Amino acid sequence: MELKTTRPKHWLDRYFHSIQTSDFGSMAVVIGLVIIGVIFQFANKNFLTPLNLTNLMAQIAVIGILSVGIILVLLIGEIDLSVGSVSGAAAAVMAVLITNYRVSSVAAILVAILVGFLIGAMQGFFVGKIHVPSFIVTLAGLMIWQGAQLFILGDQGTINMRDPFIRSIANTLIPPWLGWVIGILAVIVVALTVFRERKNRQKAGLNNPVPSMAISRLLLIAIAILGAVALMNFDRNQVPNGKPIQGVPTSVFIFIVFIVIFDLITRFTRFGRHIYTVGGNAEAARRASIEVDRVRIWVFALCSGVAACGGIVAASRLIAVNYGSGGGSLLLSAIAAAVIGGTSLFGGRGSTWAALLGALVIGSINNGMDLLAFPSSIKLMITGIVLMLAVILDSVSRERRKRAGKG
């Protein structure tokens, strides 16, 4: 009888101990999302409708893409304040090449991404080789590339994107059957990633959380992915007997692709391990023969390259590029999404999936308050409070991990 009662207790003890000693930030964000959903649905019955939630996902795609790049920089313990202006400048380069110089859309996109990559590499050089603080380098970059954007656009001010391919990047719907295929494949990839990560930890002699933690995590992710696909596959046409409007927006698909690609890179490549090592302890990384400066340069280059891609998606979604592209609250929202989603400001801890969670929180708050006709002042204050809570949670999580011996 004693054996029957102690085993379940021991299993539960291990389960809750795994929760306490692991990074519980993402779990708190998920709980927060549920609370946000309940509150706004109670206040406005349209919040959880397929139409509104699909629009919400499409709205956060650009913020989320930029946040993926920000996360890479945060993982090495740095910051990039120029991603918004880089995205606007890259979009301006693409628009001018297509409109004024009749360059093909594919070539213009490649040039714009290359411009973003080179900008990031240059900024990374000053941070990595010259050792100028990243805050100063990228703050200067914010002003420089914003000025470059105004110069590139010139007197035109606004360039309307008439190219069919550019317009289709963010404004096309994936057929429902293909959405289901992509969703199922995404669940399979996540499952393989989780089990491979456990296997690698076991090989390295590190302790794994109890299997039930991995199973519950997989179950939660599968429900979220397949539930989102099902939601976006509902017919959202509110016109009786009208043509069905259903399917996953391509902007959302592009956002998820960026998350998955960089999640695989950071988890399962040598470069990804170097990113976490540099962010955890740069001096220890040097002693381990890791070229810290090179890692920093590559990370800043990738961040700006991703920002350029975000600018292209934004141009497609708005069907135009203008002086305001990449401006406004885009930069702050991208940084806030990374932090709210669970990426540590202290470096060395986080995941690109934080971009999705954080962007969902910010997007849900803004969308819900828009439905309730809240003024911009209230929206900014509430978003700031949520960001502050996320930073506090990050600090508390860091202290708990120290006490648990996980650094």
- What is the reported pLDDT for 401? 65
pLDDT in tens, 179-198: 999 999 988 988 888 788 77
**Contact predicate 90/116, CB 8 Å:** yes
What does the block give as tokens for 143?
């002003």
CB atoms within 10 A of CB 218: 16
- What is the reported pLDDT for 6? 43
- What is the reported pLDDT for 128? 93
- What is the reported pLDDT for 204? 72
Q: Kindly report which listed range (99-103, 138-142, 206-210, 306-310) carries the lowest average pLDDT score.
A: 206-210
- Domains of the chain as residue ranges with CATH: 45-175+247-403 (1.10.3470)
pLDDT in tens, 163-175: 999 999 999 999 9
- What is the reported pLDDT for 384? 85
pLDDT in tens, 283-340: 999 999 999 999 999 999 999 999 999 999 999 999 999 999 999 889 989 999 999 8
Instruction: Enter the DSSP assignment of 348.
Output: S
Scan for tokens 């340069």, then name that residue: 297
**Contact predicate 153/100, CB 8 Å:** no
Query: CA 73, 78, 82 angle in degrees (round to 5)?
Result: 70
What's the 3-state SS for 123-165? HHHHHHCCCCCHHHHHHHHHHHHHHHHHHHHHHHCEEECCCHH
- What is the reported pLDDT for 328? 85
Taking the model in full, what pTM does it have? 0.90
- What is the reported pLDDT for 405? 58
Q: What is the mean pLDDT of residues 34-51?
A: 91
pLDDT in tens, 56-107: 999 999 999 999 999 999 999 999 999 999 999 999 999 999 999 999 999 9
